[in-house]
Structure 1
Amino acid sequence: MARPRGTPSTGRHRIEMSLRPDKASRQVTFSKRRSGLFKKCSELSLVCGADVVCIVFSEAGNLFALGSPSVDAVLRRYAPLHAADDDDAGVDDDREALEEMCREREAAAEQVAAESARMDLIGDEVVKAQGGRRFWWETDTEALGEAELPEFARALGRLRDNVSRHVNKLARRAPAPATAAVARAEDPASRLDLLA
């Protein structure tokens, strides 16, 4: 939207630094300023490689914190209350937690690989049971084992749902069907019945 000619632009101007009298206005200002402060802190950390912690308490007493690499790591590193061996203990705890997360990730990857292999075997069994039939849903269910039948049933359910959705979509696109009276009037056999 263009500004009418002759009206001056407010542009960027300095806002008076004073307490906002309206609580809603104060809350909005707090949120905007807090996000701007956190953005500046993260940029400072990224550009300069500095360890940064920013802790802000709202008027309601809520705590908002940002830290790079993390608030706990920076506070442990720079807090004068902790001795040097406390820092080493914290690093060891962090290392143990990281190693535990890596073990959990590897276990999850193994489970995914095992499930993928199981599904491949089930697919192979279904193809074998298909026995030269043209479509996979024509598979001989007697040839399937206990592991394959539940998967086959779920696949059939998904196929039924997809076909149902497709039929509904086609039905919405189709023109409105002719009424029965119009259809009977156009049918030559029904005309003969009317004459008789």
Structure 2
Amino acid sequence: MGRRKIEMKMVRDCNSRQVTFSKRRNGLFKKASELATLCAAQVAIVVFSPGGKPFSFGHPSVEAVSQRFLNEDSKQNANVDEDDGVQNLNEELTELLKQLEIEKKRGKELEKAIADQSTCKYKKPISQLNEDELMDMKTALEALRENLKSHIKDIEASSSLLLLNKATKGSDN
């Protein structure tokens, strides 16, 4: 499923409208952040949700940009210049967003790998397996049994050593 062109008209369904609003708002804020970072632009966006809840994004802040816009005073414009701390935070945010996207992709890959490993080789009931499949299953089960026996022996040996160690420490006191 790829992207497709969406006709520009109001979304009628209330739930779909809310989802569309959230996704588009996040995309709009991300683009504004990129514009501020790449071009050292001062950006302010104020959006009201269909439910009337306000959302805002501003760089360096909504207040600073709106004051500059409302005052249009050259002295005010010079004082609103971006300071290094805000620029550093914006760069850090951009880097963290990149890392978040990488981790999301990694998480999807891990989920897929886990799903691939959890699938059973034999999807049919035992009564429907042919002779070759039954022999393969028998071999796999025997290998599993031997592996379990080995682990049990290791656990018993570790347990014995722990008991011996406790007994030795108890007799020292």
Provide the TM-score with structure 1 as the length reference. Answer: 0.37
Higher helix share: 2
Q: Which of the two has higher C-alpha Rg?
A: 1
Provide the TM-score with structure 2 as the length reference. Answer: 0.41
